[in-house]
Amino acid sequence: MFAATGCGSDRQKGADVAEDRADGPLVAAMMPDIPPYLYLDPDTGEVKGIDVDIIRAAAARLGRDLEIRTAPFAEILPAVKNGTADFAAAGITITEGRSRDADFSDSYAEEGCVFLYRASDPPPTMIRAESLRVGVVDSMFGDFYITRHGIEPFRFASLPEIVTNLVAGRLDAVFYDRPALAIAAQASGGALAVTPLVTREYYGIAVRKGRPDLLAAVNDVIRERREGAAQ
């Protein structure tokens, strides 16, 4: 079930039901668990990050309010597919399969997955991972990648609980997006470390199909941010 969050002009609503939003706020389904792309401000509880900045700017361009609903990653893309959300965001890797259920914006970041592990242990590799207890966030790209390589991971709804299990010795490694795991390693005071990139991915905003106006607004914002960064 979605949980509503946000502040300012963002509207708040908790019901996860299909609705006619022609004159209401646009709805964004997000998993704020992948800094710096999406995260919860520890002081205010507000969703912040690159992804939400893009979507807020797109909604403003269209003259619409934005309602943010947070949920586990496994729920946010289905919400766009079934029409309960207009956008989904969480550092989402653009794939052919996902593009059947949602339209994706232009890519706004190139990232990849790495292993997070206890620094006292040998660094994991894809070959060694076959004999390790590897934690992933359910339905994220890291889950698909590990599974496709014949490794059955331990699936969790959020990154913090995976890192907790790693530190406690119940897991041998975490496979997830590099930016968030680099932050976790830095915060550990040297107890945790990350490997070099294992995958290379392109992130995009998922947009409800049949809404070219929303897709165009998001792409315009991404293009302007890219041009601004290049100046």
Residues sharing a CB contact under 8 Å with residue 164, sequence separation 6 or more, in sequence order: none
Domains 3-109+202-230 and 113-199 share a fold: yes
Please report which confidence band the pLDDT of residue 8 belongs to, taking 50, 70 and 90 as the band edges: very low
DSSP secondary structure code for residue 175 in this structure = E
Cβ atoms of residues 109 and 148 within 8 Å: no
Q: Which amino acid is at 135?
A: G
Q: The tokens of 30 are what?
A: 């997000």
Query: What is the per-residue pLDDT for 22?
Result: 64
Question: Does the pLDDT value for residue 20 go beyond 70?
Answer: no
Q: Are 135 and 165 in contact (CB under 8 A)?
A: yes
- Residue 161's Cα: distance from chain center in Å? 16
Question: Which 3 state secondary structure label does DSSP give 226?
Answer: helix
pLDDT tens sequence across 135-161: 999 999 999 999 999 999 999 999 999
Q: What is the pLDDT of residue 2?
A: 54
Is 12's pLDDT higher than 50? no
pLDDT band at 228 (very low <50, low <70, confident <90, very high): confident
Superfamily for 113-199? Answer: Periplasmic binding protein-like II (3.40.190.10)
Per-residue pLDDT at 32 exceeds 80: yes
Domain boundaries, the chain: 3-109+202-230, 113-199
pLDDT above 70: percentage of residues in the chain: 90
How far apart CA 91 and CA 51 sit, in angstroms, is 7
pLDDT tens digits for range 92-122? 999 999 999 999 999 999 999 999 999 999 9
Total-model pTM: 0.86
- pLDDT value for 3: 56
3-109+202-230: CATH class: alpha beta
- Answer for the pair 111, 38: CB distance below 8 angstroms, yes or no: no
Q: Work out the mean pLDDT of the chain and round it to a whole number.
A: 91
Q: What is the dihedral of CA 61, 227, 76, 210, to 10 degrees?
A: 60
